[in-house]
Amino acid sequence: AELAEKIRVLIEQTEFKPQFNLTVSFGVAEYLKDESYESWLSRADKALYKAKHQGRNRVCLATDLD
């Protein structure tokens, strides 16, 4: 989550072309012992969509899901 936030801020603060800024959202899920790949990816995907629905340009953790 800390790395995702650092990357998000770096991208947000970078001007890629004159007057062109970019933002990103990340969904982060820690792999749980004995968890299937599909379940892990699904939790990360749900966290990403939550980040987008909360206004984008943010990091959302799978543990933050309702």
Kindly indicate the confidence band of residue 63, based on its pLDDT and cuts at 50, 70 and 90: confident
pLDDT at 66 over 90: no
* Neighbour-count burial of 20, counting CB atoms closer than 10 A to its CB (0-12 exposed, 13-18 middle, 19+ buried): exposed
Token reading at 21:
């800024």
Q: What whole-number distance in Å separates Cα of residue 27 and Cα of residue 36?
A: 17
Name the residue with higher pLDDT: 65 or 24. Answer: 24
Q: Is the pTM of this model over 0.85?
A: no
CA atoms within 13 A of residue 22's CA, in its CB half-sphere: 10
Where residue 61 falls among pLDDT bands split at 50, 70, 90? very high
Question: What is the per-residue pLDDT across 23-43, written as a single tens digit (0 to 9) for each?
Answer: 999 999 999 999 999 999 999
Instruction: Look at 16 and 29; give whichever has higher pLDDT.
Output: 29
